[in-house]
Structure formats: C-alpha cells, structure tokens
C-alpha cells in the first residue's frame, strides 16, 4: 500500500480496561499534508483496522464510539486503541448496504448513559428494514436495549436503508430512511420508505413522518443558527441532493429528480412539479454523499460556517460555502487520499473527524498544519 493508505504500524496488545480483550496499538508515521483554498491541513490517523465503519459519536471523556457495518460497536481510546466489540448490540441484517449504521448519544447522556443505534433489522424470509434502538452504555456493552422505531413494511433486498440520527433542539429524534428500492412506497404516507421520521426519544406515540419523497438519506445535521434539519441523499445516476426538509413537505422522489436511471432511462416526470420541493443543491454526476457537518469550530477559522459532505462515490470531502440556503462555492478536498468518506464530524476541540468505508477502515482527523 502507498503511504496514503497505510500510515500506522500496528500490533495487537492486551487491553486491561474492564471487559476489553485486545486492542490495536499503533506507531504513527508522518501525516499527509494538504492545501485548500483557505487552510493548509494535515490528516492524522486516529485508529484503523475497522471493518466498514459507518458512524461515530464522541463520549464526554474524550473516547469515541464507532459502529462497524457487520454489527460491531467499539470504543476508541484516546490513544487510538480499539476495545473489544461491546456486548448487547442488536442482531443486524449485514448484507449489501445493510448492517449496523449510525450511533448518537442521548442529549442527557452524561446522566442517563443512553445511546441510540440505527441498523438494518432482519425480518422473516430474508426481509429487512431500518430500525432504531436505544440502550444504556456500560464499560463492557449495552444494557436495557429497546427498539424505539421499526420501518414498516420490511422488504427484501440489501440496499437503501438510510440512515442518520439527529436530535432536534426540542428533544425529538430525527431518523432518515431510504426507499429500500421500492419507489412506489415513497409517495405513500402509510409506509416509512423514503421518509424523514421524527419520534419521541423513548419511542412512545406513533412515528411521525416529517418529510417524504426522499431516495436514500445518508447525511443529516442541524443548522447551527436556525436549528433546522439539513440532509444529503443519494440520487440515481446523477441527482444527489442537499435539502433542508420542512415538516409535511414532499421532496419529489421518484416523480421528480435531476438524475437518470442507471440504464440511462429517464425517471418520473422531469425535474419540477407543483407541490414538490426543489433541492438546495444537487450533484450531477453523483458523488454518493454520506455524512454531513456544519463547521463551527475555532481550529479552522476560514472554514467556519462551511458545510462538509463526505463522498463514497468520488472518494472526497466536499466543502460548501453558503449564503443562507444557497451554495455559493464547492471545494473538493482529499481526492488524492483515495478513500471512501462515509462520515464527517466536528470533534469537541474543533478538529474534523472522518470515517473511511473500507474493509480496513480508519478514523482520520484533520488538523491545521503550519505554513
């Protein structure tokens, strides 16, 4: 492998934290340095040896929770060591794009120790659907796990599960779902495919459809000033979208889209129709966006206010400058790194963290680099 793909030299060592068995201790070589329009920055490997990591969350003590799509949840120590897989994780449908997906801390995590997981939940006869469970985190695993949302109906196939988790400022939980390649379900408000769902965090009450007409939302974040939900979703061949979904609004899929079918055939009725919303921004050709983050930190002052989008198709990190709800500039970063960027998050200190969706996936950290 080239230095861009193998920056750590690792050995398996015993880890004596409660419940952990082995870990990876790594010696780090020189980080890669990149230039952007506003900053020079370096890419530091935090951890590696993860199998298709999908989501991460920062614990108050500086450690990181990370999911692996085959169904493992781990804690990353501050020195980059990986815990043994935590116990108590729900059984997942680990086929195709399915598996263990996002992770989020409850807003009152410091008191409750509750976390939320989204995942592809297996059903009967090979079916599956996006589900969300919550549980109490201990040093060894998860306790008192309970499912708080199940996408209905479950269907066959291993594609288009979504799914990101975002807590709104009022305490509700947003859940993004994919269409599960059942286009005919997306405009049907009796089904959960292709919707943004809003629920009470304990799962009580009927799940509420916040917005619909979505294809496969794999990035979501709250706007730091307005508190509004923003999302990115996969189009077909072209037509990836950036949206700020409003309650009760229809975002068009599969009736309107800026993409075409993979065969080259047209989809739906065109790019616009009365009663259906237009995206804030779209990508053609598709970048396959996954992960979404508004940057608010002090480590990169020239990036403050930018929107960052991971891309698993074009293997890059997109930085968007905004004027209200209008994209004025797009800068494409890390293209020479060659990794599928699955998630992007702002760390507690203002650095930027990425997950690479590979069989030997990594957690990367972007830090300022002196000129």
Q: How far apart are CA 161 and CA 154, in angstroms?
A: 11
CA nearest neighbour of 135 among 150, 119, 121, 116: 116
Q: Is 160 among the residues known to form the active site?
A: yes
Catalytic-role residue among 5, 39, 52, 160: 160
What value, to the nearest 5°, has the Cα angle with vertex 364 and ends 360 and 367? Answer: 165
Dihedral angle over CA of 336, 163, 159, 275, nearest 10: -100
Nearest of 195, 193, 320, 183 to residue 257 by alpha carbon: 183
Of residues 334, 333, 303, the one with CA closest to residue 321: 303
Separation between Cα atoms, residue 86 and residue 98, nearest integer Å: 19
> Which residue from 347, 357, 289, 356 is spatially nearest to 320, judged by alpha carbons?
289
d(CA 104, CA 44): 24
| Contact predicate 27/8, CB 8 Å | yes
SS3 category, 146? strand
Tell me which residues are annotated as active site: 160
């Amino acid at each position: 492998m080239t230095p861009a793909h193998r920056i750590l030299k690792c050995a398996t060592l015993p880890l004596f934290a409660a419940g952990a068995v082995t870990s990876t201790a790594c010696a780090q070589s020189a980080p890669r340095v990149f230039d952007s329009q506003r900053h020079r920055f370096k890419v530091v490997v935090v951890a590696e040896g993860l199998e298709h990591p999908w989501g991460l969350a920062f614990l108050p003590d500086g450690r990181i929770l990370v999911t692996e799509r085959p169904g493992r949840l781990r804690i990353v120590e501050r020195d980059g060591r990986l815990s043994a897989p935590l116990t108590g994780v729900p059984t997942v449908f680990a086929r195709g794009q399915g598996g263990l997906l996002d992770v989020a801390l409850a807003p009152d995590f410091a008191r409750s120790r509750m976390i939320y997981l989204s995942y592809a939940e297996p059903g009967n006869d090979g079916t599956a659907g996006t589900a969300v469970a919550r549980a109490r985190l201990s040093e060894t695993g998860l306790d008192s796990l309970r499912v708080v949302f199940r996408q209905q109906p479950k269907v066959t196939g291993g594609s288009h599960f979504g799914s990101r988790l975002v807590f709104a400022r009022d305490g509700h939980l947003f859940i993004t779902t994919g269409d599960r390649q059942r286009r005919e379900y997306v405009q049907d408000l009796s089904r959960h495919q292709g919707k943004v769902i809003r629920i009470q965090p304990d799962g009580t009450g009927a799940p509420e459809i916040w917005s619909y007409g979505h294809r496969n939302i794999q990035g979501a974040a709250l706007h730091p000033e307005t508190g509004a939900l923003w999302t990115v979703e996969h189009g077909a061949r072209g037509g990836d979208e950036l949206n700020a979904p409003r309650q009760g609004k229809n975002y068009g899929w599969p009736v309107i889209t800026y993409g075409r079918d993979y065969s080259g055939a047209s989809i739906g009725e065109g790019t616009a129709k009365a009663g259906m919303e237009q995206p804030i921004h779209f990508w053609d050709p598709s970048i396959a966006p996954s992960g979404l983050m508004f940057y608010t930190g002090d480590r990169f002052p020239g990036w403050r206010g930018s929107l960052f989008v991971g891309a698993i198709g074009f293997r890059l990190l997109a930085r968007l400058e905004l004027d209200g709800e209008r994209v004025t500039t797009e800068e494409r970063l890390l293209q020479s790194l060659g990794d599928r960027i699955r998630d992007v998050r702002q760390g507690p200190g203002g650095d930027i963290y990425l997950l690479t969706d590979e069989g030997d996936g990594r957690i990367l950290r972007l830090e300022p680099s002196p000129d």
